[in-house]
Amino acid sequence: VQLQASGGGLVQAGGSLRLSCTGSRRVFSTYVMGWFRQALGKEREFVSAISGSGGVYYVNYVDSVKGRFTISSDNTKNTVYLQMNSLKPEDTAVYYCAADVDGGLPHGVGEKYDYWGQGTQVTVSS
């Protein structure tokens, strides 16, 4: 499975961006899809994850983005989105999407994800 992340960029604090992650295989409905980020000099951090299909989805967020970020999935397009609103300078990082082929509930355990995208840079200026 190849994952392609896109949508990053430079935005002012309070602005919005939407990240996309498109996969090479039509199996998103069985995977857990996650977003992680890594700021310069810091460890990788879980951001959000989603699993499910047929209109029934489960989502998970790190506390720092709850109420600001929304994860969604379009399984017909093999694409997962991360809508990021009210961005803050501390959201600046390289954002990665990842796939856990074992499925189940969405989680933030990076070691359980099998495939990773190449990352997209998000920079929020103050």
Block residue for tokens 């996309």: 20
Partner residues linked to 49 by β-bridges = 34, 60
**Contact, 4 vs 22, CB < 8 A?**
yes
Q: Could you list the pLDDT tens digit for every one of the 126 residues in the chain?
A: 899 999 999 999 999 999 999 988 766 778 999 999 999 999 999 999 999 887 889 999 999 999 999 999 988 888 999 999 999 999 999 999 999 999 999 999 999 999 999 999 999 999
12-72-29 Cα angle (round to 5):
150
